A and B are shown apart, each in its own frame.
Chain A
Amino acid sequence: MKPIVELLDVVKEFPLGKVTVRALRGVSLTIGRGEFVAIAGPSGSGKTTLLNQVGCVDTPTRGTVRIDGQSTSDLSESDLTKLRLHKLGFIFQTFNLVPVLDLAQNVELPLLLKGGLTRAERERRVRTIIDQVGLTDQLGQRPNELSGGQRQRVAIARALVTGPSIVLADEPTANLDSATGEQILDLMEALNRDEGTTFIFSTHDDKVMAHARRLVSLVDGEIAEDRVTQGAAA
């Protein structure tokens, strides 16, 4: 499988007062195109820091991060923004929708940022993806009029509408009840299976890990375990 994400001996340090915290301690990891990977570990283990490196919203202190063969340390701030826009999709734990836009507008936003599409084409894509996440009846509603599960579905639609190679999800079910969380994971799995999009999500919930086909466990900023799971057989 062709690698889409490569981390080579990545170290990330944060200054915290007079001490330096090492959130990642020489992590090396390769993720192939179309994988459905869970980054697991307890709080403070470095899951989110790892996702931030892959998502190009942060840069490593040392080491190399390659996205689709391109080293992020070679890119300018503007190039990193373009990379995020064209190749990455984000799903946040707290949904992070734009509160003043309705459901359809939130989903359309990345397409507008990307540019080059007619209004009709944008509308068609938005409709299609909203159909896929099952929110056609809520099209004109604002985020505060939607339930947590519906908001996360909107976030998934927003992450997928540009057709990114990788979707990063930071604890996507942490703020949802277990039934809704299950539905969201099923949806992500289906999209991964049908669209071939690579999903990398962080979690410390065993039920969520059970959905992953590959589980990377972090402990104190180091990979403690990297294995194919039962989810892969399902």
Chain B
Amino acid sequence: MFALIAWRNLRQGGRRTALLGVALAAVTGLLVLLMSLSDGVNDSMIRGATSLAAGHVNVAGFYKATPDEGFPMITETGEVKAVAREAVDGLATVIDRHRGWSRVVSDASSIWAALYGVEIAQEVRLRETLRPAKLASYVEDLDGLDGEAREGDIDGLAEPDTAMLFATQAKRLGVRVGDALTIRTETLRGQSNTVDVRVVAVMDDLGLMSNWSIFLPKRTILDLYGLDDDTTGAVMLYLDDIDRAPQVMEALRAAYAEAGFDVMEHDPRPFFAKFQTVSGQDWTGQKIDITTWTDEVSFLVWVIAAIDSVSALLITILTIIIAVGIMNALWIAVRERTTEIGTLRAIGMSRRRVLAMFLTEALMLGLFGTLVGAVGGALLAAGLDALSIPIPSQAVQAILMNDRLHLVVEPTEVVGVVVGFTIICGLSAIWPAARAARMPPITAIHITE
């Protein structure tokens, strides 16, 4: 009955209730959309990072011939892989990639790029994630070409002296599939070396990371740097459950130490940010560095943090407005219903029950408004994701780490938003509800002479 009184009073509130409900629904819907966008960027980042730059857990390290200079490589790749396979449960795949940094030169232009030396047959994720880009996305003068055509094949990397790059890079270099590039770098002995490669595939961009990543066959990298076959840049471990990455990292640290490897202290930064630290240390030889995928893309976490901060700021402001709105609406309701409150108090309703009745009213409004908003926001987010809308601006693509609008609706977060906003509504109502509860029946029923 008390819930019924609350519900009917809400309906009685008419336009006031409707306006507050719509405002609540709109804010909740907006929050769900922003969270879906943030989760979408996070998802794109995980997909991009774990396809392009890192495994779920990475066993890499530095080799130092002299104390002053470290190279991002590990020797004894076979043994490193064997220890990992022995130590880790729930291991899906193990691959290894060479890493390098070089000038990439075309007939028209040149860029700096991170090189990844791969055995394409092993690279299941890379092949699943990437797809050839439309010519229109990187060829400026189509001149009779079909802009919708997608040229090249990632499996072309099985051939020696080939390269796969991304649309933005191809556009900057002015190349397409079949064109030649020159890769110029410095070997471990400090000599300059070059190799000519043929572009076998130009793929769709995959966020910020695809701006500087170029893939070559492993053999080409080994030859370019003059390395032994048993060396590599990083052994990348893919797990059945990505959330176990931190535990697996810790287990591997112990396993490698036990196997006699010298293991570096955990440093949650990508490998390229550690050169200066390593070069400043007084040791030579090989050290193993174990990181998770989040460490390797920590330089990108600012994007998610920025989206979350903007969302938080926006939602905080809107929440304050809503809370003030609810408080105000209940103040008005308490004033309008002074006689009713007094009557209820006179006929024996306790203060606690009056408080509960007004809180129920606010909670009902909160639950109804946020539920509608959350479901609406989730449906809109899912719909936008299904439409896979292309993002025209490369800058926005880089920030969102995707060439298409990608949103991910997390049901637990949606439930959290509904519960959270409903609680905020309840908290906003405490003051006016307490005022109603404290109202003496004599004041409320106006029966003083």
Contact = CB atoms under 8 A, between A and B. Distances in A.
B is bound to A:
yes
B16 interface: no
A57 B339 CA distance: 13
Contacts of B441: 57, 84
B332 to A, nearest CB: 16
Which one of A52, A85, A100, A113 has the greatest number of beta carbons of chain B within 10 Å?
A: A100
A34 interface: no
Given A100-B5, A100-B12, A170 B349 contact: no
Nearest to B447: A48
B340 A96 contact: yes
Interface in B265-307: none
Contacts of A14: 448
B346 A84 contact: yes
Nearest to B441: A57
Nearest to A85: B348
Contacts of B344: 98, 109
A176 B340 CA distance: 20
Contact of B12 (A46, A57, A99, A108): A99
A186 to B, nearest CB: 24
B353 interface: yes
A77 interface: yes
Interface string B339-356: 110111111111101000
A45 B342 CA distance: 23
- Interface size, A (range): 35 or more
Interface in B399-446: 440-442, 445
B348 A114 contact: yes
B8 interface: yes
Contacts of A92: 343, 445, 447
Interface in A1-53: 14, 23, 43-49, 51-52
A55 interface: yes
B9 interface: yes
A57 B447 contact: yes
A45 B4 CA distance: 40
Interface in A76-126: 77-78, 81-82, 84-86, 89-90, 92, 94, 96-101, 105, 108-110, 112-114
Interface of B: 1-2, 4-5, 8-9, 11-12, 339-340, 342-351, 353, 440-442, 445, 447-449
5 contacts: A48-B449, A82-B348, A96-B445, A100-B5, A100-B9
Interface of A: 14, 23, 43-49, 51-52, 55, 57-58, 77-78, 81-82, 84-86, 89-90, 92, 94, 96-101, 105, 108-110, 112-114, 158-159, 170
Closest 9 CB pairs between A and B?
A85-B348, A100-B8, A96-B343, A57-B441, A58-B442, A57-B442, A48-B449, A84-B348, A113-B348
